[in-house]
Amino acid sequence: MNASGRTVLFVLGVMLASLSAAMFAPAIADLNDDAQAAHAFFGAGGLGLALGGIMTLMGRGSTKDLSARGAILLTGGAWIVLSVAAAIPLKLSGLDISWTDALFEATSGLTTTGATVLTGLQDMPAGILLWRSILQWIGGVGIIVTAMAIWPLLGIGGMQLFRLESSDKSEKALPRAGQIAGAVGGIYLVLTFLCFLAYLGADMTPFEAINHAMTTVATGGFSTHDGSIGAFVDGGADLVALVFMVLAGLPFVLFLRAAQGRPDLLVFDPQARAFLIVALTASILLTLWLVVHDPHDPAHLPAWRIAAVNGVSVLTGTGYASADFWLWGGGAAGIFFVLMFIGGCAGSTTCSVKIFRYQIAASAMNAYIAQYARPNAVKPIRYRNQTVPDETVRSVLGFFFLFFLTFGISASLLSLIGLDPVTAVSGAATTLANVGPGLGEIIGPAGSFQDLPATAKWVMTANMIIGRLEIMVIFVMLAPRFWRG
């Protein structure tokens, strides 16, 4: 095994051991309430620590060099290995679910998708609920570090634009990727703690507050109640979720820049500004729809509040729901469907296509149209007042092609499996974009993925991993030339 391969094995071992160590928290939480669940977490945690330790020892002595192929293997392998490991205690904890359901739930947690096969959450052991939240919190910080430290170097889907080693010093908050990752991790912790305090102020119990804080900042959307965030609207928890979903949708490096004296970037950065405009526009459109059509709301909340919370939740891929927006009518359903394909900013915990890719694609389209109108004119494609290299444009456009190709294939497969058109199309969209709830009566905000066929769950599980890996990683790993060298 070469140095890069040993580094991959070493890092995977450390990650597996770390995830396994986290299993002891839900094990302790269930000691007095559910012995079977506690034993499942203790056993799975011990096994994972042992395997992770062996992998770490096998990879020791490496030079910590990581080639491009090694980085792809690491990012792809990590999400798959950790999802399988996270599913083991769920299966063994007495939930009476299949291995397919356990893997679906664990993958949904780590990828911060938020789609669930579990019901009766408010009556479940505390350890199970805590484990689901921990998975999303780990997945959220993991995707930020990966997106900031590895993908820019590989040029995944146009992420070259956010390369930390850029020669433009003004774009570097700190001089090294490791320092960036550490600083962003600190910001992630601070946001989670502030969100926890805010939820306490919104009349949540400490247990409810810590669970929802982890899943809000991670834009994951797992809740401790079947009613999602809608079960806590009396104390204003939905408004707390709204604020922190917006914050989590912004590039985390901008919070670092704000702490260094540039808070204006949180509004004037082109990607952040576009994200805020989209969130505001979606909220206004949904508010107008609710005012005109006046669907029944048992909580009797203002239209703007329901519209903003649910709209931003779908836009950021959090997946919280304070109302069953499937009942709002076709126009609202269309807006939510479009929001699934937008997402937040690069370098945030959000998912889907992401704002900057639409900005690059729009700039490219404008340049191409100008070129047709005036063939001799030279109109560069620009972003952040800089010319975008052709390789970055090709990477962005390639991402669009592969993303929507994967969406079309997975929607077709779900339809062939026997799902109705609304469930098949929205199920493919919500899992590939890592949003959570789909549309329709089955997997809509008031439903769950529990009753879907096992084959459909496997397709959706694959979708969640493909989407969270920014599409390109999986396609590269599937290419024979990648394995031939």
- pLDDT for residue 285 is more than 50: yes
Residue 386's region, left for phi above 0, alpha for psi from -120 to 50, else beta, is beta
pLDDT single digits (tens) 425-475:
999 999 999 998 999 999 999 889 999 999 999 999 999 999 988 888 888
Contact 349, 148 (CB under 8 A): no
Query: Would you state the pLDDT for residue 174?
Result: 37
pLDDT digits (tens, 9 = 90+) for 16-43: 999 999 999 999 998 888 888 899 999 9
Q: How confident is the model at residue 313 (pLDDT cuts 50, 70, 90)?
A: very high
Q: Reply yes or no on whether the pLDDT at 171 is more than 60.
A: no
Per residue in 365-411, pLDDT tens?
888 888 787 877 777 888 887 888 888 888 899 999 999 999 999 99
Alpha-carbon span 85 to 77, nearest angstrom: 12
pLDDT of residue 298: 64
Taking the domains of the chain in order of start, what are their residue ranges?
1-96, 131-485
State if pTM tops 0.95: no
The pLDDT score that the predictor gives to residue 183 is: 79
Q: Is the pLDDT of residue 247 over 70?
A: yes
**What would the two tokens of residue 391 be?**
């390789």
Burial of 170 (0-12, 13-18, 19+ CB in 10 A): exposed
